[in-house]
Chains A and B, each alone.
Chain A
Amino acid sequence: MQVEHVLELNDIVVQFGQRTVLDHIDVAIEAGEFVGLIGPNGAGKTTLLRVILGLLSPNHGEVRVDGKSVRKRNRAIGYVPQKIHLDPDTPLRGRDLVGLGLDGHRFGVPLPSRKRRARIDEVLEAVDALRFADAPVGRLSGGEQQRLLIAQALLTDPKILLLDEPLSNLDIRSAHEVVRLVGRLGKERGIAVILVAHDMNPLLGHMDKVLYLAEGHAAMGEVDAVIQSEVLSRLYGYEVEVLRVRGRVLVVGGRDEEADVVDLLGGFHCGDHEDVMNS
C-alpha cells in the first residue's frame, strides 16, 4: 500500500560557501505523525526548517509538502516561531496575536466580524488559551505565549505543524504541557508535527519518530532504532556514546581531549563566552 506523505524531502543539499550544512537529507513524514527534530546546536536544524518553510532554496533536492512542490506562503504548514520578543507594555492582546495568523499577511486594516472572532475563539479553545486571550501578550509566561503561537499556526488548518525550539525557554512543567498539547492536537486533527529541540528527553514517550541531525547528516526512525551509539557515531563522523540513565537519554561525544556532553546541555555553551573574556 502506498502511504501518503505530507512532507517529503528528497536528497536535500544546502551549502553556505565551502561549508555543507545539509548533506543529502531524505525525509518522509506521514499525516498525524509526531516527529522530534533533534540535534546539537549548529547541526543544521534551523537551515532544514527554513528549507521546509520555503524561505531558503536548497542547492540540490526537492521539498514536497502535501504532494506539491514547496513554495512560499504555504498554508499547509503552520509555523510556530521559537519566541516572540515583546515588551510587557505592547498594546497587543492574545487574540490580536492569534488574529495575525488569520489575515496578517493581507493589506489593509482588519474589520471585526463575527466569523473572524468565532474562528479565533475556536483555536484559542483548542489550545486552552481562552482564559488569557484578553491579556497583553507581553505579560504572559513563556508557556502561555507558546500556546498562543500554536493557536496562531492552527488558524490556516495546516497539514504540518512546525515548531522551532518551543521548549528552549520553558521550565520543565510547561515544556511537558506544550509537548502533550501538540501531541494531542496532532492526533485529533491529523496534523503531522515536527518539533525542533536540542534535548530529546521531554519528547520521549510522545514522539512517534525521531529525526536526528548532526554535522549535516540525518537519520530518521523509531527512537530506539535511531538513538544508538553506532547510528549517531556515523552521523557525527566520530565516536559518540548513547547513555540511558534513569529513563533519560544522554549523548556523550569524545572528539576533543575532554569528553563533553553533546546533547544534554544543548544550547548552553560556556566556551564561547570564555573565549571572549580571555581575549
Chain B
Amino acid sequence: MGQFLQMVFPLDLITLPFMFHALLSGTVVAILSGLVGFFVILRGSSFVAHVLPKAGFAGAAGAVLLDINPLVGLVVFALGGALSIGMLGKRGRHDVVTALTLVVALGTGALFLTLNEHYATGAYALLFGQLVGVSLSQVLDTVVLGLVCVLILGVLYRPLLFASIMRDSAEARGISSRKLEMAFLIVVGLATAVTVPVVGALLSFSLMIGPAATARYLTRRPGTSLVCSVAIAILTIWAALVLGYDTSWPIGFFVSSISALLYGVVRVGASLQQRRVAGKTDAHVHPLDGVVGQK
C-alpha cells in the first residue's frame, strides 16, 4: 500500500521546483477556469470558449513568424476574436459568427505556419500546453493576469447573472446587455490567454466547461455552484498533474477525461435520484433534497 502511494505520489512532486511551479500555475488557471466556466455554461457560450483558444493559437503562430513573443500573438488573437464575435453577433445569437471567426483565425494561422521557414516550436508548445516547465516569472504573469480576470468577474457578477438569466428585465433596469456581453467576451478572451500557455489551446476549454457543468448538479445556489466549480477544477488539474507526472502522457488528456468522468458520474447520479424522488413526491423537489440540506 505504502509502496503504491509512493509510486503515485513520488516525493519529487513537491520537491522539484518545476513541479511546484506547475502546481501553482495550474491552481491559478483552475480557479480562473472554474469562475469563467460558470458563466460560460449559464450563458450557453461553450462555442466561444472553444473557439478563442484556437484563435489564440493562430495568433501565436503569427507572432512566431514575426519573431515576437508568442504570448503577444495569443493575447491579440484571443481578444480580437472575442471582440469580433461580440460585434458581429446579434442579441445573444452568435454561433454562426463564432464559427466564421474560428475559421478565419485558423485559416490565418495556417498561412502563418506555411510562411514560416522553420518549425514553429513556440506555437506548437501552445497547442498542448506546457504545464511542466514554466518558470517562476511565468507563474507570476499567470497570477497577475488571473487576478485581473477574477476582479473583473467579481465586479460584473450581479449584472452578468441578471442579464444572463433575464435579459429584458435587466435592460429595463438600465443594464446594457450588449456592453455586458462585450465585457464578458473580453474576460473569456483574457482567461484564454492565461490558461492556454499552461494547459494548451486544445484543452483549456475542457477545464472551463467540465467543472462548471458538473457543479450545476451539485447545488441549487449560484454562489455555491461557483465555489464547487472552482474546487472541481482545482482537483481536476492536480490529479491530472500527478497522473501526467507518473505516466508522462499529455496532461490535457487527463484533464479532459477526469472532467468528463466527473460530469458523467454526477449527471447519472442526479437523474437516478430525480427518478427516485419524482416517484414519491411532487415535482418541485430538487434531486439533491436531503443530500444538500436546506439552509
Interface check B242, CB cutoff 8 A = no
- Cβ contact within 8 Å between A93 and B221: yes
- Cβ contact within 8 Å between B216 and A89: yes
A-B contact count (CB 8 A): 106
A134-B294 in contact given A89-B216, A109-B158 (Cβ < 8 Å): yes
- Cβ contact within 8 Å between A100 and B165: yes
> Which B185-228 residues have a C-beta within 8 angstroms of A?
215-217, 219-222, 224-225
Write the A69-109 contact mask toward B (1 if CB under 8 angstroms, else 0).
00011100101110010100111110011001101111111
Residue of B42, B157, B168 with most chain A CB atoms under a 10 A cut-off: B168
Residue of B nearest to A86 (CB): B165
- Cβ contact within 8 Å between B156 and A135: no
Residues of A within 8 A of B284 (CB): 132, 135, 139-140, 144
- Cβ contact within 8 Å between B286 and A53: no
Q: Is the interface of A mostly helix, strand, loop or mixed?
A: loop
- Cβ contact within 8 Å between B159 and A136: no
A91-B158 in contact given A86-B165, A152-B169 (Cβ < 8 Å): no
Write the B273-295 contact mask toward A (1 if CB under 8 angstroms, else 0).
00000000001111000000011
Contact of A107 among B159, B224, B225 (CB under 8 A): B159
- Cβ contact within 8 Å between A135 and B159: no
Interface check B231, CB cutoff 8 A = no
Total number of B residues with any Cβ neighbor in A under 8 Å: 35
Total number of A residues with any Cβ neighbor in B under 8 Å: 41
Give bound CA distance, A85 to B264, whole Å. 24
Given contacts A96-B222, A139-B286, 15 further A-B contacts (CB under 8 A): A79-B168, A84-B165, A96-B221, A103-B158, A104-B159, A106-B158, A106-B159, A107-B155, A108-B158, A109-B157, A134-B294, A135-B284, A135-B286, A136-B220, A140-B284
A and B contact pairs by CB, cutoff 8 A, 14 listed: A54-B172, A55-B171, A81-B168, A97-B166, A100-B170, A105-B158, A105-B159, A107-B159, A108-B154, A109-B157, A134-B220, A134-B294, A139-B283, A149-B169
